[in-house]
Amino acid sequence: MGSNTTEAHPIIANRMKKAAKQGLKIIVIDPRKTDMAKISHRHLPIEVGSDIALINSIIHVILREKLYDQKWVAHHTDNVRELAIQVEAFTPEYAEAITGISAEDIVATAREYATASRGMIAYTLGITEHHCGVNNVLDIANLALLSGHIGKEGTGIMPLRGQNNVQGAGDMGCLPNMLTGAVSISNDHYRNRFENYWGVEIPSNIGDTQTRTFEKMENGEIKALFVIGENPLVADVHLNHTRKLFDKLELLVVQDIFLTETAKVADVVLPAKSWGEVEGTYINTDRRVQRVRKAVDAHPSTKEDWEILCDLSNIMGYEMKYSNSKEIWDEIRLLAWEQYGGISYERLEACYSIHYPCPSEDHPGTKVLHEHFHQDANSNSEKRKFVPVTYTPPIEQPDKDFPFILTTGRRYESYNTHTQTRYYASGIKIKQKEETVDIHPNDADRLNIEDGEMVEVSSRRGNLQVKAKITEQVAPGLVFMSFHWIEVPTNVLTINEYDPISGTAEFKACAVAIKRL
């Protein structure tokens, strides 16, 4: 769901394609006819932002036709009634009107997923980058739980992670509500463990998300911002607005490997070491801890991220001294032992990767989570809750003035704000060297736009000029752009509406107009 796997996670896509050849049925739910759609058993070209209408309808069919294990569901959950009430209105016919997917396809999908011996749902930002991103994820969880597709190999929910260590950064505690090991900051017992080891008191209140930080920059409550290896000026929605917020800060520090657009407006810029120059570990999308090794010596006046922060910490009167990344990892293993205690550098040398949780050196790691769902059939199982949710349409709908829906994403050869993928090895043939607005042939015909012609794309927040690419990958009425090239700053168009819980912006849907120059 909402995953252009071939372009964003090519190696995962290869494995999916290989499995499809061996009989795996892949259902692709995506507004665009991506490469995955071409190899799929069924493609459901969903209207942007109507995921909950579809999932609720699939749940509706599963409940109506009793395609689930009623005994298992009654044993593990206690509110399937609430779920049934929420999805009652979502008949396949009703969902067809919202999602654009035929009632027949919805029924067939429900039957196939529910009755499969094993079913997995993989999703990416097409699910989360909406004002209702959290509800989208909750509804996926409702569906998986109802079908019992959880806690067994080949089942479960797999969010495909976009950055090499986005899993690890969160797991290490770079979240406003979590300490290292993904335990809540408000858990006194767990927080005390860190307070005792660090010798300081840690505030128990939840901190600010990035989204909240931007809001507090606007009203003047945030005075200083320290940004490591990120280019929020280009990456975040409503770019023209973000730029003004940075001007309000008393201190902006940017630690990076390049003078990014965000670094250019900083008060202090610190030169960091990059991938290939550092030692340590990453955690991948399926919880594998793996070793990253230094390949080349960095420029002598650059420093590793942790070195810079330790130096700064020492200047500010709190001593942090480590001689290498292993010492830091061992502190992590000690404090968050339930997750990483058994994952030593030595073990990683020998066995390449270990899935956490792995509490002790003799523990093999945990490949499949939630196995208890299938192990305690006769015991008194802790009841899990469904979280019924309802459908809310994208905040900005197309209208007379802005008749197209713009959805944004990534392209195969480029990566995020393109600070690194500008530098390909010589001789590599790159297919997409600049941004385009991808538009359906019918729309292009109607507007008299030719392939490769410069057009103006505008939203209520900004406008830009870009080449048109005519392609059937998008549906009529839908256009697609990435945000890789600062020359075409797509995020001047996107809307600053956010999911109230996660703070994730609605990158996937806003209304735009397109005209010839």
Partner 1 sequence: MVNQIKTICGYCGTGCGLIVEVENNIINKIRGDKEAPVNKGQTCVKGAFAFEYVHSKNRLTTPLIRKQGVLVESSWEEALTLIGENLQKIKEKWMPNAISMFACARSTNESNYITQKFMRAVIGSNNIDGCNRT
Which of 44, 48, 185, 449 is in the footprint of partner 1 by CB under 8 A? 185
Contact set for partner 1, span 416-455 (CB under 8 A): 419-425, 428
Work out whether 308 is an interface residue with partner 1 (CB under 8 A).
Answer: yes
Residue 464 CB neighbour total at 10 angstroms: 20
Work out whether 272 is an interface residue with partner 1 (CB under 8 A).
Answer: yes
CB of 438 to partner 1, least distance (A): 20
Q: Give the SS3 label for residue 338.
A: helix
Work out whether 156 is an interface residue with partner 1 (CB under 8 A).
Answer: no
Contact set for partner 1, span 164-183 (CB under 8 A): 164-177, 179-180
CB of 353 to partner 1, least distance (A): 6
DSSP 308-329: HHHHHHHHTT-----SSHHHHH
DSSP 419-462: TTTT-PPTT---S--S-EEEE-HHHHHHHTPPTT-EEEEE-SS-
Which of 108, 257, 368, 486 is in the footprint of partner 1 by CB under 8 A? 257
Which of 30, 304, 396, 438 is in the footprint of partner 1 by CB under 8 A? 304
| Per-residue mark of binding to partner 1, 333-352 (x: CB under 8 A) | -------------------x
Which of 19, 97, 259, 377 is in the footprint of partner 1 by CB under 8 A? 259
Angstrom distance (rounded) from CA 178 to CA 378:
34
Q: What kind and span of H or E run contains 215? A: helix 210-218
Which of 23, 189, 203, 399 is in the footprint of partner 1 by CB under 8 A? 203
Nearest to 497 by CA among 455, 457, 459: 459
Q: Which is nearer to partner 1, 36 or 101 (CB)?
A: 36
Which of 102, 290, 432, 463 is in the footprint of partner 1 by CB under 8 A? 290
Could you tell me if 487 and 373 are in contact, meaning their C-beta atoms sit under 8 angstroms apart? no
Work out whether 401 is an interface residue with partner 1 (CB under 8 A).
Answer: no
- Residues contacting 457, CB < 8 A, separation 6+: 406, 437, 463, 464, 465, 466, 479, 481, 493, 512, 513, 514
Angstrom distance (rounded) from CA 343 to CA 290:
10
Q: How many residues bind partner 1 (CB under 8 A)?
A: 136
CB of 488 to partner 1, least distance (A): 18
**φ, ψ for residue 304, nearest 5 deg:** -70, 155
Which of 66, 71, 200, 378 is in the footprint of partner 1 by CB under 8 A? 200
And the tokens for 371?
Answer: 């196995």
Work out whether 380 is an interface residue with partner 1 (CB under 8 A).
Answer: no
Q: Which is nearer to partner 1, 11 or 517 (CB)?
A: 11
Span from 89-97, 290-298, 448-456, 473-481 in contact with partner 1 (CB under 8 A): 290-298
- Residues contacting 257, CB < 8 A, separation 6+: 229, 271, 272, 273, 274, 302, 419
Cα 327–Cα 307–Cα 290 angle in degrees, nearest 5? 50
Q: Which is nearer to partner 1, 54 or 185 (CB)?
A: 185
Work out whether 206 is an interface residue with partner 1 (CB under 8 A).
Answer: yes
Which of 25, 41, 93, 276 is in the footprint of partner 1 by CB under 8 A? 276
Q: Which residue has the tokens 């200083």?
A: 224
Query: What letter does residue 383 receive in the DSSP assignment?
Result: P
Residue 516 CB neighbour total at 10 angstroms: 12
And the tokens for 351?
Answer: 């066995």
Cα 275–Cα 278–Cα 282 angle in degrees, nearest 5? 70
Work out whether 261 is an interface residue with partner 1 (CB under 8 A).
Answer: no
Span from 8-16, 53-61, 397-405, 460-468 in contact with partner 1 (CB under 8 A): 8-16
Work out whether 36 is an interface residue with partner 1 (CB under 8 A).
Answer: no
Single-letter amino acid code for the residue at 130: H
Work out whether 232 is an interface residue with partner 1 (CB under 8 A).
Answer: yes
CB of 377 to partner 1, least distance (A): 32
Q: Which is nearer to partner 1, 71 or 423 (CB)?
A: 423
Work out whether 412 is an interface residue with partner 1 (CB under 8 A).
Answer: yes
Which of 219, 301, 379, 448 is in the footprint of partner 1 by CB under 8 A? 301
Q: Give the SS3 label for residue 109.
A: helix
Q: Which is nearer to partner 1, 279 or 456 (CB)?
A: 279
Work out whether 100 is an interface residue with partner 1 (CB under 8 A).
Answer: no
Which of 69, 82, 215, 331 is in the footprint of partner 1 by CB under 8 A? 331
Span from 37-45, 79-87, 95-103, 231-239 in contact with partner 1 (CB under 8 A): 231-239
Which of 62, 468, 505, 511 is in the footprint of partner 1 by CB under 8 A? 505
Nearest to 385 by CA among 9, 86, 23: 86
Work out whether 210 is an interface residue with partner 1 (CB under 8 A).
Answer: yes
Which of 86, 285, 458, 482 is in the footprint of partner 1 by CB under 8 A? 285
Q: Which is nearer to partner 1, 14 or 70 (CB)?
A: 14
| Per-residue mark of binding to partner 1, 118-147 (x: CB under 8 A) | -----------x------------------
Work out whether 369 is an interface residue with partner 1 (CB under 8 A).
Answer: no
Angstrom distance (rounded) from CA 476 to CA 319:
60
CB of 245 to partner 1, least distance (A): 12
Span from 55-63, 86-94, 202-210, 450-458 in contact with partner 1 (CB under 8 A): 202-210
Identify whether 357 is preceded by a cis peptide bond (ω within 30 of 0): yes
Burial class of residue 497 in the structure, from the number of CB atoms within 10 Å of its CB (0-12 exposed, 13-18 middle, 19+ buried): middle
Angstrom distance (rounded) from CA 131 to CA 114:
28
